[in-house]
Amino acid sequence: MDNSDLASLSKHVQTLITKYPDINAVWLNAGIQYSYSFADPINGSKHTDEAIIREITVNLTAHTILARHFVPFLLTQKFETVLMLTSSGIAYLPLSQFPVYGATKAATHHLCCAMRDQLADTNVRVLELATPYVATDLDKEHKEASKGAPPPMPLEEYTDKVFEILDGSEAKELKEVGVGFAQMGVGKWREAFGPVLEGIGSKA
């Protein structure tokens, strides 16, 4: 499925739920990352308007549309279900070398909170997976932008840690699953804003 082809997303969802009618979990994980500086005309010239639109489309718009089509199906299930979206530790601590990527992940965090509050009294749980810097191909074209950062976590180690948290927790207790650096961001955010959300009656 090509997440940049927004017009086809609803058809892909229909195909999946028709083929797999007993789905109880959906994970929206696709993402792309570009690195550039608004202050560097030479570097900035390599990134077109189309590239900015594509980064936002794949990382945020597509996931929002997919959620809009998956959630009504999950609500019809007679059992507990979960909608998972991948964000990033950068959603909580901005890094200037990834200006649009970080913005899309911060928006993903907000989207998860909004959907979680709206769906709190239903059979659909919304879970945000906040990743640290993981050794994948996400940054293969601009690894130099991550110089100075801690070494990336091996993918297998990250996966093991995520499943350790998932397997060791009640589904209803989980809102964000952060690992490594991302867990610090998740923890500090919950510590600061959790009481505020409770005070306004939000279940985000």
What is the set of domains in the chain, with CATH numbers? Answer: 6-199 (3.40.50.720)
Look up residue 76 and give its two tokens.
């019809």
Q: What is the pLDDT of residues 43-77, one digit of tens each?
A: 666 678 899 999 999 999 999 999 999 999 999 99
Q: How far is CA 201 from CA 51, 154, 187, 191, 204, in A?
A: 39, 39, 20, 16, 9
- Point out the least confidently predicted range of 28-37, 46-55, 88-97, 103-112: 46-55
pTM confidence score = 0.91
- Overall residue count recorded for the chain in this entry: 204
Query: Tens of pLDDT along 112-167?
Result: 999 999 999 999 999 999 999 888 777 767 766 666 667 888 899 999 999 999 88
